[in-house]
């Protein structure tokens, strides 16, 4: 997959938050819950490449994504849905230096955005909140149902790519 100037740009802010109650989040209006397994692939062109299996209550979706960071908040991102067979084939290129990232994602509509809350099994007291924006200058509507520890936008140690190598201690 080749990234070009026509590749969509993903802009997001990321926050370390106190781990919320999953049942509370799941009960929020419009919340979608999925279990994600994300595996990073060996890539020779300097981009970040991954495959993801996302299991919802009623279906499983497989995706292949290539990203290239262009600023602390933004990345060129090309993502496409793939078949289970292509997913299995791409897994043969899994980076042996990285562990798969396993997480539960709660996607909650909030103030015209979607608050994506990722809960990881390796932390007991914290989680990560991501909010996608239209541009880097947009304000960030933080949901009142989360407690922010601190913003980690641009702190590479909290990217899933880095978490696949080393998990920071809990705050």
**pLDDT, tens digit, for every residue of 36-46?**
999 999 998 88
Taking residues 81-85, report their average pLDDT.
Answer: 98
Q: Which residue ranges form the domains of the chain, and what is each CATH number? A: 10-163 (2.40.320.10)
Query: How far apart are the C-alpha atoms of 151 and 105, rounded to whole Å?
Result: 19
**Exposed e or buried b per residue across 53-82, where buried means at least 16 C-beta atoms within 10 angstroms of its C-beta:** beeeeeeeebbbbbbebeeebebbbbeeeb
Helix (H) or strand (E) holding 68: strand 60-69
Residues 9-34 have pLDDT tens digits of 667 899 999 999 999 999 999 999 99
| The model's pTM | 0.89
Query: CB–CB of 34/55 below 8 Å?
Result: yes
Count of C-beta atoms within a 10 Å radius of residue 46: 6
| Contact of 74 with 9, CB cutoff 8 Å | yes
Is the Cβ–Cβ distance between 116 and 130 less than 8 Å? Answer: yes
**Mean pLDDT, rounded, for 98-106:** 98
Per-residue pLDDT reduced to its tens digit, 131-163: 987 766 777 779 999 999 999 998 989 999 999
């Amino acid at each position: 997959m080749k990234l070009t100037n026509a590749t969509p740009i993903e802009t997001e802010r990321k926050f370390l938050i106190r781990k919320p109650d999953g049942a509370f989040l799941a009960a929020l209006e419009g919340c979608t819950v999925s279990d994600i397994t994300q595996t990073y692939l060996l890539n020779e062109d300097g981009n970040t490449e991954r495959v993801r299996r996302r299991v919802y209550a009623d279906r499983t979706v497989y995706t292949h994504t290539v990203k290239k960071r262009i600023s602390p908040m933004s990345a060129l991102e090309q993502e496409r849905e793939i078949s289970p067979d292509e997913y299995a084939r791409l897994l043969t290129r899994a980076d042996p230096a990285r562990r798969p990232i396993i997480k539960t994602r709660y996607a909650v509509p909030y103030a015209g955005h979607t608050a994506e809350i990722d809960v990881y099994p390796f932390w007991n007291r914290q989680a990560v909140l991501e909010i996608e924006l239209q541009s880097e200058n947009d304000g960030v509507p933080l949901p009142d149902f989360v407690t922010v520890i601190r913003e980690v936008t641009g702190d590479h140690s909290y990217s899933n790519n880095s978490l696949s190598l080393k998990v920071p201690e809990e705050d």
